[in-house]
Amino acid sequence: MKFWDSSAILPLCVNEPTSPVLRKTLKADQAMVVWWATRIECTSALLRQAREEMLTPKGTDQARAVLKQLADTWTEIHPTPVVREHAERLLSVHPLRTADALQLAAALTWSGHLPKNHYLVCLDHRLRDSAKKEGFSLLPAEF
């Protein structure tokens, strides 16, 4: 089981250069854990791509169908006071945006506050750096 950031889920829904390595990562372990707002973040990104005509209407429908399939099987970490407290602490020690602090706080909650030997799948460089400093192992390893 691995914690997946939104940045790593999008390439599962649409073809991007990182899609093959992320699909391989998912195939090796299909148990995904995500933050409660992940589906919303991914939907926002897909609809932005559609508005910017980077996706056709058919491509948008296909990407949203893939997202729904993933969401139907993943485990979500829900918003709690503990997640909020972790996010506030993370903002004080890492240069994170709010959404990324919440993602990392959810990952910490999932790991039982012991990130060693827990994987975070992420493509966002700032979030990856902060997660590594918190003790998470990162996938993809080379990014």
- What's the mean pLDDT when you consider all of the chain? 97
Record: fold of 2-139: Rossmann fold (3.40.50)
Task: Give this prediction's pTM.
Answer: 0.95
Give the domain ranges of the chain. 2-139
- 22-40: average pLDDT: 97
Confidence category of residue 30, pLDDT binned at 50, 70, 90: very high
Give the pLDDT score at 142: 78
Tokens 């926002």 found at: 44
Give the pLDDT score at 73: 97
Contact of 121 with 139, CB cutoff 8 Å: yes
Contact of 57 with 50, CB cutoff 8 Å: yes
- 76-105: average pLDDT: 97
Contact of 67 with 108, CB cutoff 8 Å: no
Q: What are phi and psi of 27, to 5 degrees?
A: -60, -35
Give the pLDDT score at 127: 98
- 73-86: average pLDDT: 97
Identify the bridge partners of residue 52 per DSSP, sorted by sequence position: none
Q: Is the pLDDT of residue 143 over 90?
A: no
Q: Is the pLDDT of residue 31 over 90?
A: yes
- Give the sheet arrangement for strand 119-121, strand by strand: 75-77, 32-35, 2-4, 119-121, 137-139
* Cα–Cα distance for residue pair 55/53, rounded to 1 Å: 5
